[in-house]
Chain A
């Protein structure tokens, strides 16, 4: 089902992930969050931006430990853990945050 972002229609897959990562604009995260009834704060954006940077370098979302370590370094050790990330993204940082960031869904036994 396509989503409407900034007046443009963007294709998504069955699970709501962007079909084409190159079409991502910041408005995508806003539209998806609104559907989930989630309000995006600066803390959410820190994660989304980190995911996009990591993906650009490695063509995959970061491992949970890589993500929590980066968050811990940037925002303080008390936030460098999965609980903090699940607090921000209740569907799971890997899956919900990746979707907002336009990344493909991590697949496998995760």
Chain B
């Protein structure tokens, strides 16, 4: 773990609402994108002279496009229901991290320029001019929202702070104040095909390595095909699945499930990324461009189905927006939903009985499960309401003997963000990430103490990377976090797989020889 120059919060038995401390996080802001990371996305490289006018025009444009934005800005009655719901507020005590405090940063400018009362009697309605100080506050605090939507679950009007944050980021990007982490990454997607900048040759080499590893371990030639024309299924997965741990153990699991299900599948070097950071920066245009790669890859490869791997916000974009962004998908097989989630696929195979499962393979662990915010609160799975909560748990319970849920106010639609979502998974925001993880860490510690939980499963690349990084700050081990399909992978007994006894007997023969 790296050294820190900030205080790591003390975990409490239950998350308490802290007393306000004004401005504790006013210093927190991510690196601003330089011109080379702005231009490929269609944004200017620096603040223009008439930036106020351009920002207000941009706000007007977004208000015209998204009626919801205006409704959210108009309808808050300051009831206070949201105030203690944000993990960043709970972890930092900064009142501008209360959802209403964050919304008001944009709302006060909206009132000044777009409402009658704000134009003529600004002081009466809390309307403020857009000044450089206000812009600096926007940059800081709209990059302290992970767009997890937990607050919107509790808002009686359903005000979605995520959408307000997205709009604020889009306005800032349009006046040359974009965020380096997201915008550099989106540029790489356009240029190379994925967030990592992993070129085709490196991807092919990595997949070949996985095939060797799985065959060494099991004796079965499970394939991880790339750009295989005529395959039935295109798997679109986060590039972290090729690169990082425990993500890659999940990818190994997807391959084993497809192998045992007897379906043909392929990855694509063109759509070698499920993530769509266009959503984080609130840019419809960039979100659309990123999505189009998936359509193009599906057409070029001639697949019949599209399945998404374990990535939280990608599933939101896929489930909720893909058809409008990149549809119609009338060229796919209408027998299957477009798109599908790998967990839906695996759960179906488990129910059909195609997978030979040995649950005892996971007996060294007691599992809990972290609901990723974009899956929990912005999408669904399967055909039943709440499927996005139950299907991952059903799969885990089908492959593990020991499973315990965390406290009800911290799971399902009440889930706490990992602290690194929404385009904040960058080292320049480490203080925010550590503090924002506090409520989840408290819920996790509780089940560790009460139920002897050893590991937490997640199904989102950001959650997995964030927990790997922040768990050590709270005295827990980075390898506690596992992929859901890693558990599946452990428990699947492949057809023809050699067993431990086989290996022992092979050893004996060698000794005898």
Contact = CB atoms under 8 A, between A and B. Distances in A.
A14 B206 contact: no
Contact of A109 (B1, B205, B213, B240): B240
What is the interface residue range for chain B against chain A?
Answer: 35 or more
Contacts of A15: 31, 427-428
B184 interface: yes
Contacts of A58: 199, 201-202, 205
Contacts of B197: 60, 104, 107
A63 B238 contact: no
B2 A110 contact: no
A63 B244 contact: yes
Interface string A62-78: 11111001000000000
B180 interface: yes
B2 A109 contact: no
A91 interface: yes
A108 interface: yes
A10 to B, nearest CB: 18
Given A66-B205, A69-B213, A110 B199 contact: no
Contacts of A63: 206, 209, 242-244, 248
B245 interface: yes
B199 A59 contact: yes
Contacts of B374: none
A106 interface: yes
B479 A82 contact: yes
Contacts of A59: 199, 202
Given A14-B180, A15-B427, A109 B461 contact: yes
B245 A108 contact: no
A58 B194 CA distance: 15
Interface residues of A, number: 26
Contacts of A65: 206, 209-210, 213, 245, 248
B181 A107 contact: yes
Contact of B198 (A60, A82, A90, A109): A60
A88 B462 CA distance: 24
Interface in A49-97: 57-60, 62-66, 69, 82-83, 86, 90-92, 94-95
B contacts with A: majority SS: helix
A75 to B, nearest CB: 18
Contacts of B2: 90-91
Nearest to B1: A90
B326 interface: no
Given A58-B205, A60-B202, A66-B206, A109 B248 contact: no
Contacts of A108: 185, 188, 194-196, 238-240, 243, 273, 275, 461
A92 B430 CA distance: 14
B92 interface: no
A27 B291 CA distance: 43
B465 interface: yes
Interface in B243-272: 243-245, 247-248
B100 interface: no
Contacts of A92: 469
Contacts of A60: 196-199, 202
B478 to A, nearest CB: 8
Interface of B: 1-2, 31, 180-181, 184-185, 188, 194-199, 201-202, 205-206, 209-210, 213, 238-240, 242-245, 247-248, 273, 275, 311, 425, 427-428, 461-462, 464-465, 469, 478-479
Given A107-B197, A108-B194, 17 more contacts: A15-B31, A15-B427, A59-B202, A60-B197, A60-B199, A63-B206, A63-B248, A66-B206, A69-B209, A69-B213, A106-B196, A107-B181, A108-B196, A108-B273, A109-B195, A109-B425, A110-B244
Interface of A: 14-15, 57-60, 62-66, 69, 82-83, 86, 90-92, 94-95, 104, 106-110
25 contacts: A15-B427, A57-B201, A58-B201, A58-B205, A60-B196, A63-B206, A63-B209, A63-B248, A66-B209, A86-B478, A91-B2, A104-B197, A106-B196, A107-B184, A107-B188, A107-B197, A108-B238, A108-B240, A109-B195, A109-B240, A109-B462, A109-B464, A110-B196, A110-B243, A110-B465
